[in-house]
Structures are given as C-alpha cells and as structure tokens.
Amino acid sequence: MAHKCYILGGGESGAGAAILAKKQGYDVFVSDAGPIKNIYKEELKEYGIEFEESMHSEERILSADEIVKSPGIPEKSEMMKKIRKQGIPVISEVELAYRFKGDSKIVAITGSNGKTTTTSLAYHICKHAGLDCALVGNIGISIAKQVALDPKEVYIAEISSFQLDDIQEFRADIAVLTNITEDHLDRYDYKFENYINAKFKITKNQTANDSFIYCPDDPVTAKYLKKLTLQSNPLPFTMKQEPQKGAFIKDGTMTIAVNDDKLTMSVDDFKIKGKHNQYNTMAAGIAAATLGIRKEKIREAVTTFESLEHRMEMVALVKGVEYINDSKATNINSTWYALESMSRPTILILGGVDKGNDYEVLKELVKEKVKAIVCLGLDNRKIHEAFGDTVALMVNTTSAEDAVKAAYHFAEKGDAVLLSPACASFDLFKNYEDRGNQFKQAVRNL
C-alpha cells in the first residue's frame, strides 16, 4: 500500500506539496474546506491528483498515514482537532520539501518585518554570483513545487511562523531571523511567547555546521537568545556593537566578516534606502558570504538591487493612505498574490491590455478586500462585467494621473491604493516600468 499523504488546503503551498508527494509515489488526496482557485485546480488535474473543495471527507482524511497542513489552517479548526485526537502525524509543506531536497542547501528567512526584501536581496546576490538557486516559499513558488519540478542547488526561502509550526526534521543550513514584533497572535492563543517560540523553531535542528543570522538590536530576539542553547554558528547583524563575526554598520560603513574575505562598503552605495533596509542588507549579505560568495559579487549586487521596484513597492503615505506600485503584475496570478497580501481596505487600479484574463479567480479576494476599482485602460468592459455586481464603486480612466486622482478621491485614512493591473501596459504606456513610474510621479504630485 502506498503511503497515504493527505493534504489540507489547496493553495500554492498545498498544491506544491501534492505535486511533490505524487512524484514521490505517495497516495495523494487534497481537501480544502473552501473553494480552490482555478489556477491550482488546473495544476492538480495536470498531475492526476484527486481533490475536493468546500468540504472535508472526514472518514477519508482520518485514514491518512500523514497530513500536510497548509499554513493558513489554524489548529482550532474542527478537522485539525479530530486529526490531532487520532494522533496522525502532521507536517508542513516545507517539511515535506526538506525530505526530498537531496544535497541542496536551504537559506531560510523568517521574521515579522523585512523578510521579503531580505529574501529577494539574498536571491539577487546569489543569482548575480552565478549560483544555481531558486527564490521560494511565501514569495513566489512553494518550496515543495520547486523541489518537485525544478530542483536547484540552493533554495532561498521566505518562511512564516505558521510553516515552522509543523516542522520535525527540517533544517536550514543558513537561518535568518530579521526581528520579532507582535503579529498573528490570534494563532498563538494571544501569547506572544508562543509566537516567539514558533519563530525560533528555525534554529531547531541546526548543527555546528549551520549558521544562524540574527539581529541583537531587536530586544525580543536578544532577550530570547539568552534562554536558548544554540547548536549553530551565531552571526549577528547590528548597528550598536562591532562583532568579530557577522555584520555591523558604523559611521555609515557596513562591514561583513564571516570568513577571511572581509567586505566593507558605504551605506550610501546601497540601492535600497532607509534604516530598515540597511538591516535587511546586512542580513542578506551575511547569508551570501556564508554561502562562499566573494565580496566583489556581494558589493555589485547590493548596488544594483532593484528587483523590488514595481513589485509591491511602497510609494508614499498620503493623508493616512498607502500607495503601492505593483505595476509588474501583468497577469491575474500576480494580482491575486498582491491582493492576498493586503491588510488594509483597498482601492484597486486594474486594467490595460487583457491577455484573455479570467477575472473569476480574483472574485473572492476582490469581494473581501476591495472597496473601489479604478480601471486604467482603453477597453474595460470585461472588468466591469466581472466585478460590476461585487464592487459598487467603479470608474474608467486613461492616464496614470487620472487613475491616481480617482483613487485619491475614493480613499479614506487607513485605506491603501494598489496599482496591480493584471494586464499588459501597451495600450497607454511603453511598458510596465513606464506605467509604474508614471503612477509614482502622479502619487508624488498629490
């Protein structure tokens, strides 16, 4: 009998786990209490994986040898309570990926803030240095899907505390903890301590050959480290001390010292600005140096890192409203990810040259998060047909300036204006960069 590996949740993480489990010869079944997005249904069908949506077949699920739980599912859910009562082993998708990663290395990055930038920058440095690597986890494609379909020598993974909750053997060769602030406490019985424990699980299976990169300037991290016996090699990044190993910034100069190849560079040369990004750069730089990347390559990559422009790029806060440039979202999938990450009520700027888009995929998220849609394109009929009955406020515009003015008009303090068009830009702009730049200019002119 094949090992019954059943998966709860049919999102990016669940679909990735299902494909990997199937490829490894497991008996796979995916069950989601809610609807599964079309994009993931197509993937599951493609690999011949059985799934159910908007229900859980309890008897079948409880016959599993092992459950892979998607990070969005809380322990308090009825199904999870029954699975725990039955004593079925529960793992996360990153644990499954770890099982089949072979000799490859994992750089795992977690923290309350800054993890996406740190992960993207670490990947940018590795790619620039010619490493065979992939950007995975909460940013982009799930690590299990990458392992299943296109294995690499190094995985740069953004990992959430929810994914760390259900690890057993998972071990990061290089673990990065950016900082810890009170977040997601609803999932941790409103005890900050439980959330801290979850974050520190990233060090759980590390050995003396592994590295732990952390920020001693973060009071929560510093306090908690005192209670912990670390097996791995500690590498701090700080602006308040000058460690022998790790990274520090003093008088506007960053020093990274992990091996004999000591790097120093001026923070003025960093492409990304702001104190928080200096911390992120130190963390990513240490990770790269630990992988053996030469200082010249790290320096070049830090001075050219632009990959976050036009990708969920925070432009400005105007009268309590956040303006976000995600012009790089030229397809439905990208806009779906953008909306999923929004925590404020959103005014969505959508439209352009449609590539045969099926807006159905966005319906649920739009219903949940979007209070107004500003169309930015020459032909917006499909958008009106798709969301006319869901969103009361919709308006057509044909320039970035008009779109921003309309959004400004709809927005109230605490809202966000998101340019995430889900379409190509060639009807009104040269390319998505031009569209993003015009949007940013219009926001600055407000």
- At a CB cut-off of 8 Å and minimum separation 6, what does 329 contact? 311, 335, 337, 338, 420, 421, 422
Mean pLDDT of 81-87: 97
Q: Count how many domains the chain has.
A: 3
Q: Is the pLDDT of residue 203 over 70?
A: yes
Residue 46, token pair as written in the block: 């493609």
Which ranges constitute the DSSP H helices of 3-37? Answer: 12-23
Predicted confidence at residue 358, as pLDDT, reads 83
Residues 204, 171: Cα–Cα separation, whole Å: 7
Of 337 and 422, the one with more pLDDT = 422
For residue 83, pLDDT over 80 is answered with yes
Note whether 275 and 282 are within 8 A (CB): no
Report the run of H or E that residue 45 belongs to, with start and end.
Answer: helix 38-46
Q: What is the SS3 assignment for 149?
A: helix
Q: Which of 119-123, 211-215, 310-314, 411-415 has the lowest mean pLDDT?
A: 310-314
Final residue before a domain boundary, out of 88, 122, 145 = 88
CATH number at residue 34: 3.40.50.720
Pair 78, 122 in one domain: no
pLDDT for 310: 75
Least confident interval from 73-87, 184-198, 257-271, 413-427: 184-198
**Other Cβ atoms closer than 10 A to 166:** 23
pLDDT for position 183:
64
On whether both 111 and 231 belong to a single domain, the answer is yes
**Amino acid in the structure at residue 213:** I
User: What tokens does 33 get?
Assistant: 């209490």
pLDDT (tens digit per residue) in 309-338: 677 788 889 999 999 999 988 878 778 878
Pick from 126-130, 223-227, 244-248: least confident: 223-227
Could you tell me if 170 and 110 are in contact, meaning their C-beta atoms sit under 8 angstroms apart?
no
Alpha carbon distance 230, 203 (integer Å):
7
Q: Are strands 253-257 and 246-250 parallel, antiparallel or unpaired?
A: antiparallel
Pick from 151-155, 164-168, 383-387: least confident = 164-168
Over residues 44-58, mean pLDDT: 97
Rounded to an integer, what distance in angstroms lies between the CA atom of residue 90 and that of residue 95?
Answer: 10
| In contact, 9 and 56? CB cutoff 8 Å | no
Q: Where among 303, 325, 359 does a domain terminate? A: 303
- The pLDDT assigned to 309 comes to 66
Largest alpha-carbon pair distance within the chain?
Answer: 66
Query: Are residues 146 and 247 part of one domain?
Result: yes
Q: Are residues 181 and 271 in the same domain?
A: yes
Selection from 410, 423, 417 nearest residue 442 by Cα: 417
Residue 307 confidence (pLDDT) above 60: no
Residues 6+ apart with CB under 8 A from 133: 123, 126, 127, 152, 153, 154, 155, 156
Output the DSSP codes for 219-247: HHHHHHHHT----SEEEEEESS---SSEE
pLDDT band for position 271 (50/70/90)? Answer: confident
Range of the domain at 23: 4-88
Residues in the chain: 446
Taking the C-alpha atoms of residue 435 and residue 325, their distance in angstroms, rounded to an integer, is 9
d(CA 63, CA 65): 7
Mean pLDDT of 43-50: 97
- Rounded Cα distance between 106 and 173, Å, is 5
Tell me the mean pLDDT in the region 234-238: 96
The arithmetic mean of pLDDT across residues 133-143, rounded, is: 90
- One domain for residues 80 and 143: no
Res. 342 pLDDT band, cuts 50 70 90: confident
Q: Which residue numbers belong to the known binding site for ATP?
A: 111-117
Over residues 167-196, mean pLDDT: 86
Find how far residue 375's CA is from the centre of its chain: 27
What phi and psi, each to the nearest 5 degrees, are found at residue 93? -60, -35
Question: Which residues of 50-205 form beta strands (DSSP E)?
Answer: 50-53, 66-69, 90-91, 105-110, 133-137, 154-158, 174-177
Q: What is the pLDDT of residue 329?
A: 83
In the three-class reduction of DSSP (H, G, I as helix; E, B as strand; rest coil), residue 245 is classed as coil
- Does a structural domain hold residue 308? no
Across all residues in the chain, what is the average pLDDT? 92
pLDDT-derived band at 251 (thresholds 50, 70, 90) equals very high
pLDDT at 115: 84
Q: What whole-number distance in Å separates Cα of residue 92 and Cα of residue 111?
A: 18
**Which of the two residues, 426 and 95, has the higher pLDDT score?**
95
The reply to whether 236 and 111 lie within a common domain is yes
SS3 percent helix, strand, coil of the chain, rounded to 5, is 40, 20, 40
pLDDT at 445 (0 to 100): 94
Residues 6+ apart with CB under 8 A from 340: 365
Residues 243, 362, single domain; the answer is no
The CATH number of the domain holding residue 217 is: 3.40.1190.10
Boundary of a domain, candidates 236, 269, 303: 303
Q: CATH number of the domain that 423 lies in?
A: 3.90.190.20
Pick 243 or 354 by higher pLDDT.
243
Q: Which residues are annotated as a binding site?
A: 111-117
Cα torsion 91, 94, 96, 98: sign: negative
Q: Is the pLDDT of residue 184 over 70?
A: no
Alpha-carbon span 411 to 372, nearest angstrom: 9
Same-domain check for residues 217 and 272? yes
Domain identity same for 68 and 190: no
- Are 165 and 221 within one domain? yes
State whether 78 and 146 are in the same domain. Answer: no
Q: pLDDT band at 394, cuts 50/70/90? A: very high
Categorize the per-residue pLDDT at 434 as very low, low, confident or very high, splitting at 50, 70 and 90: very high
Q: Which residues contact 439 (CB under 8 A, 6 or more apart)?
A: 315, 325, 327, 349, 400, 403, 404, 419
Residue 250 lies in a domain: yes
Query: Strand 27-32 and strand 50-53: pairing?
Result: parallel
- The better pLDDT of the pair 191, 48 is held by 48
User: 165 and 254: one domain?
Assistant: yes
